[in-house]
Structure 1
Amino acid sequence: MQLTSVLSRMPFFSGLSEEQLADLAAIAVKKDVNRGQIIFYESAPAEGFYIVLSGRVKIYKTGPDGREAIIHLYGSGETFGEVAVFQNSSFPAHSEAVEKSTLAFFPRKGLLDCIAKDPALALAMLGAMSKKLRMFTKQVEALTLHEAPQRLASYLLYTSEEKDGALTFKLDVSKGLLAGMLGTARETLSRTLSKMADRGLVSVEGRQITIEDIAALEDLAEGEIVL
């Protein structure tokens, strides 16, 4: 599939003409990475940004004790690393492929040349980055103000919404990765799921989750009930 076709379907580049998309595709470098391969390290110079064409990538930080906190997971069609590029700074976290993936890398110099040629490109990207900033703000709020059961309930409700309201769905990530995303230990995540199941909020079979009582799950997410 041509990269211009992929870019045209992405909100990050919405509203751009075929010529603009072609200019962006011309500077892109395709990269195949294996599971567990580091894409960039924290504090490395931000020499460009990435789009996930297939697979999945995690952005994470490690604490002094070596514990890993996953900031976000990016899948097909999503971008990452673009904010640091515009700041002409270093990457604020590590990036690693969690499964075999194909990426498109857009070097900073080529990107700035495209923007100089057509400033509308910058406006489109800034709008998309503003949406991403709001998303991260909500994520930080959830991690700092809410307990693990509230965070997990919110994640399950969000996943259901993303899957067109399906009450039965398969988790797209392993429980280990999900624990990292929610800022908790895997054991705590497992205990929380068990408590939810005991209370009749959900049923769990491996990675498959069925929401049995969506009203109660919403109350848990809002902190109106506790496990």
Structure 2
Amino acid sequence: MISESLLIQYGAIRISIKKTEILFNESDKAKNFYQMYSGEIKMHNFNDDGKEFIQGIFTTGDSFGEPPLLINKKYPANATAIIDSEVYALKRDSFIKLLQLNPEVNLQITTALAQRLYFKSIMASEISSQEPEHRIIKLIDYFKETINKTTVDEKYQVDLTRQQIADFTGLRVETVIRAIKSLEKKKLLYINKGKVFR
């Protein structure tokens, strides 16, 4: 999102984190702006029963963790590497200065935050009231159209694991597996060599 040269100009450093390593914990004070250089990082919580709920998965070029940084609060979720990853970290004061002096970047960040808020609103509605199949289709369509920018007519390979789909939708993995098989029978998606397509 923000060019590497601009991040470096404002003092960003690139850090490496190994698979399963935690970048920050829920309730840590937000101190840095983070942008993915490579790899995958998830922001996630655990409920009282220990069930994981994924807030978002971030890949190359994505930024994350901005809301608590902008309002000077603690993180509402953990950030953990799904695979070996590298991220840019930029101190809060430098990030604020970058936004003030670069209005086009400020607009990009605002747009990205609006997309995430839109997704959370959709998923909150789905989780509270919809059947598992409907939740799964809504999640896949969001990733297809918004994250991967795939058109409605194009086939999209779902990059999420069954576990990740469960963690996004508040379902059990077994329920996700059954729902995906049912959706395939209804020809709303198809499976080829274990991969889900829509």
TM-score by length of 1: 0.75
Unaligned runs of 5+ in 1: 1-5, 9-20, 212-227
Residues 112-164 of structure 1 deviation map (CA, whole Å, 9 limit, x = unaligned) = 34456x27378423444334323322222222232211011123333444333
Alpha carbons of 1:127 and 1:54: their partners in 2 closer, same or farther (altered >3 Å)?
Answer: same
Aligned residue in 1 for 2:2: 7
Aligned residue in 1 for 2:49: 65
Aligned residue in 1 for 2:192: 205
Alpha carbons of 1:203 and 1:40: their partners in 2 closer, same or farther (altered >3 Å)?
Answer: same
Amino acid at match of 1:7: I
Aligned residue in 1 for 2:161: 174
SS in 1 for 2:2: helix
Q: CA RMSD in A?
A: 2.4
- Report which stretch shifted further, 159-168 or 137-146: 159-168
Structure 2: distance between partners of 1:101 and 1:182? 25
Aligned residue in 2 for 1:134: 118
Residues 12-46 of structure 1 deviation map (CA, whole Å, 9 limit, x = unaligned) = xxxxxxxxx75532211101111111111000010
Aligned residue in 2 for 1:51: 35
Alpha carbons of 1:193 and 1:119: their partners in 2 closer, same or farther (altered >3 Å)?
Answer: closer
Matches within 5 A, 1:84-99: 84-99=68-83
Alpha carbons of 1:99 and 1:192: their partners in 2 closer, same or farther (altered >3 Å)?
Answer: same
Instruction: Check conservation: 1:28, 1:104, Cα contact below 8 A.
Output: yes
Q: Does 1:196 align with 2:186?
A: no
Unaligned runs of 5+ in 2: none
Give the number of equivalent residue pairs: 193
Instruction: Check conservation: 1:160, 1:166, Cα contact below 8 A.
Output: no
Q: Does 1:153 align with 2:140?
A: no
Amino acid at match of 1:198: K
Alpha carbons of 1:167 and 1:40: their partners in 2 closer, same or farther (altered >3 Å)?
Answer: same
TM-score by length of 2: 0.84
Structure 2: distance between partners of 1:159 and 1:92? 23
| Larger Rg belongs to | 1
Aligned residue in 2 for 1:24: 7
Alpha carbons of 1:181 and 1:207: their partners in 2 closer, same or farther (altered >3 Å)?
Answer: farther
